Amino acid sequence: MKKIFTLCFALFSAVTMFAQETKGMFEFATADGTVVPSGTVITKSDVEDFTDPEDGYDTKQISTGLFVKPIKTDLNGEKICVKLRLNVERIDHGSIAFCLLGNCKNASEKGEFESNAGFVDKLDDLKTEWKIVDEETHKAKYGEAKAKLTLVVCRKVSLGKDQFGIEQFKYEDIGESSTVTVHFVYNEKSTGINGINNADATVVARYAADGTRLSAPQKGLNIVKLSNGKTVKYIK
C-alpha cells in the first residue's frame, strides 16, 4: 500500500510540475506581437462588416483581434504543440469562429470546444470572432456573447503504423499556458470598422485558404482583395 501511495504521489507531482512549466509558453497577443496578460478580460464591440453585395446576406462580426505568440516551443528537449480551447459561457445568437494555423471551427451554443493542435513557430492569427447574424433572418441582431479562451500545450505522440504502413499520431494535453475572457457586445453603441462593405472600394478577387480563386463567397475562410489595395479575411 505504501509503495502504491508513493507511486501515485510521484505521478501527481510530475503532472503538477509539467503543468507549471507550461505557463507562458504560448501567449495571447495583438497583431503587433504585444502580449495580452493571462487572466485579462476584454470587452469588444467594434463591428466588422463583410457583407458582400453579391451574396445578399449580412456578414457582420466582432473580432477579438487575438493572435497566439510562441514564447518557448520545447519542453525538456521535446518540441511541443498548442491548441485553442474555447469555453462559450453565453451566446445570444450566431456563432463564434475560432482558428489555429488556418484550420477553423464554429461554436453556436454554450459548451467547450477545441481547435486542432499544431506546431506554432511564429505569430498566428486565431481569427476568433462572434458572427452576429441571426440564423433565421440572416440579419445582424443586437445581443451579447462571452467566451473563455485558453491556450493548451500538448505533445504529439506516435501510435505506430497502420495496416498501410502510415504512422498514426495523437495529441496529449500537457497543461494550460494562458487564458483570456472575451465579452462581445453588439448594441446601438457599437462602432463600425472597415470590412468588405466599403463605399470607396469594390471586390476585385476572392480566394480560398489554399489560394484557389473563387467566383462567389464560400463557407469557411474567404480572402478578398479590394480595389483600394487592401486584402481582408473573413469566415462565412
Residues 6 or more apart whose CB falls under 8 angstroms from that of 48 comprise 60, 61, 62, 63, 129, 192, 193, 194, 195, 234
Q: Which of 21, 11, 151, 29 is nearest to 78 (CA)?
A: 21
**How far apart, in whole angstroms, are the C-alpha atoms of residue 135 and residue 91?**
13
Question: What local confidence, expressed as pLDDT, does residue 51 receive?
Answer: 74
Is the predicted pLDDT of residue 56 greater than 80, yes or no? no
Residues in the chain: 236
**The three grid cell numbers given for residue 102, joined into one nine-digit string:** 488556418
- What residue segments make up the domains of the chain, in order of their start? 24-191
User: Which span out of 14-18, 83-87, 202-206 was modeled with the highest average pLDDT?
Assistant: 83-87
Contact, 24 vs 71, CB < 8 A?
yes
Question: What local confidence, expressed as pLDDT, does residue 5 receive?
Answer: 45
Question: What local confidence, expressed as pLDDT, does residue 3 receive?
Answer: 52
- Largest alpha-carbon pair distance within the chain? 76
> Model confidence over 146-184: pLDDT tens digits?
999 999 999 999 999 999 999 999 999 999 999 999 999
Question: What local confidence, expressed as pLDDT, does residue 28 receive?
Answer: 98
24-191 has CATH 2.30.30 classification: no
User: What pTM, to 2 d.p., does this model score?
Assistant: 0.76
218 pLDDT tier (thresholds 50, 70, 90): confident
Mean pLDDT in the chain? 85
| Helix, strand, coil percent content, the chain, rounded in steps of 5 | 10, 50, 40
Is the predicted pLDDT of residue 1 greater than 60, yes or no? no
> Model confidence over 110-125: pLDDT tens digits?
999 999 999 999 999 9
Instruction: Report the percent of the chain where pLDDT is more than 70.
Output: 82
**The three grid cell numbers given for residue 184, joined into one nine-digit string:** 462581445
End-to-end CA distance of the chain: 58
10 pLDDT tier (thresholds 50, 70, 90): very low
